[in-house]
Amino acid sequence: MPVRRLPPLRALEAFVRVVRLGSAKAAANELALSPSALSRRVAALEDFTGKRLFTRQHQAMKLTDEGQAFYNVVAPKLEELAEAVESQVDRGQVLRLHLGVPSLFGGQRLFPRLPELRQLHPRLHIDIDTGPHLEARIGDSLDAAIVLSKEPEESFYKVQLDQNKVYAIVSKEMADELGPKPDRDKLSRQTFLIHNDLPESLDAWKAAIGMSDLEPASVDRFDSGQLVLEAAAQGLGIAIMHDDHFRRSHDGRLSRLYDIDVESPYRYWFVCRPKDLESRPVKLFHGWLVEAGL
């Protein structure tokens, strides 16, 4: 039986990465290619299929209808191929990832989804580290990390995971006491609760309510997001955290203080050294993380 002619696998990989990451630049970075090399691979795939998979405007690549249909058919087959190859390589060997994760992200976002990852990659096991200075320990005691930061160091490969608002979070009783609108006199008598990873969030929030010079009674700092939220629930102060932290807590004791939108200076990122993307554990986790939209 004759062997059918296959498209260039590297070109297929480049195509799928661009679609999944939503950016040609991000795909090029992940594959350690120049933008022109990535474009040549995609062009080779278009020549092979006879289809225009992307429209190109300046440096942007937008998926066409034909490109979307091609992706819908091809992507699942590539996953099957990857799983088939994986099943024949290092059979039975545990793949171990040393991952740094902020404890609140781990509890609210990562752990509820880990069963999905285990089902997809049963040999992948993760050592979780919730200690301080995660970014500084990448390449030493950590293979990769989820960090809460304005932006990681330029030397790292990074993927932004979200974009958040700053919320003032209090107990329901304190929300009733402070009322629906900012009151300088009342706020100046309060304790504010700040996470060490979000030092400038209070300044952003005070500016948004028009009280940049507000001096509270105290600012208490924590290295644990769970403890910040628990302190707020116990009525110990006003927690300055993210909208996502508030929603995912599902804590009926908590309430948002005031209906004011404040852009956060911080966001969650996945980071690792570019060369570590070739490591099987890092590659598997990164691929799942991006696909899952965690």
Q: What is the C-alpha to C-alpha distance for residues 102 and 147, in angstroms, rounded to an integer?
A: 7
Give the model's pLDDT for residue 83: 66
Find tokens 């034909």 and name the residue. 66
Residue 111, token pair as written in the block: 């752990």
User: What gap in Å lies between CA 255 and CA 233, rounded to an integer?
Assistant: 9
The one-letter amino acid at 294: L
Q: What pLDDT, on the 0 to 100 scale, is given for residue 38?
A: 83
Whether the predicted pLDDT of 1 surpasses 70: no
pLDDT digits (tens, 9 = 90+) for 190-223: 999 999 999 999 999 999 999 999 999 999 999 8
Is residue 109 predicted with pLDDT exceeding 60? Answer: yes
Distance CA 263, CA 243 (A): 10
How distant, in Å, are the alpha carbons of 21, 148, 167, 247 from that of 232? Answer: 37, 21, 12, 14
The one-letter code for the residue type at 206 is: K
Confidence check: pLDDT of 268 > 80: yes
pLDDT digits (tens, 9 = 90+) for 50-108: 889 888 876 678 889 998 999 998 888 877 777 666 666 555 578 899 999 999 999 99
SS3 string, the chain, reads CCCCCCCCHHHHHHHHHHHHHCCHHHHHHHCCCCHHHHHHHHHHHHHHHCCCCEEEECCEEEECHHHHHHHHHHHHHHHHHHHHHHHCCCCCCCEEEEEECCHHHHHHHHHHHHHHHHHHCCCEEEEEECCCCCHHHECCCECEEEEEECCCCCCCEEEECCCCEEEEEEEHHHHHHHCCCCCHHHHCCCEEEEECCCCCHHHHHHHHCCCCCCCCCEEEEECCHHHHHHHHHCCCCEEEEEHHHHHHHCCCCEEECCCCCCECCCEEEEEECHHHHHCHHHHHHHHHHHHHCC
Q: Nearest Cα to 266, choosing from 202, 203, 212, 198?
A: 198
Read off the pTM. 0.67
Per-residue pLDDT band for 176 (boundaries 50, 70, 90) equals very high
**pLDDT for the residue numbered 11:** 87
Q: Is the pLDDT of residue 282 over 90?
A: yes
Mean confidence (pLDDT) of the chain: 89
pLDDT at 21 over 80: no
Least confident of 9-18, 74-83, 100-109, 238-247: 74-83
Q: How far apart are CA 169 and CA 165, in angstroms?
A: 12
Distance CA 198, CA 66 (A): 44
Strand order in the sheet with 191-195: 218-222, 191-195, 238-242, 166-171, 254-256
Hey, what amino acid is at 134? L
Look up residue 192 and give its two tokens.
Answer: 């504010």
Domains and CATH numbers, the chain: 9-87 (1.10.10.10), 95-161+268-292 (3.40.190.10), 166-265 (3.40.190.10)
What per-residue confidence (pLDDT) applies to 141? 87
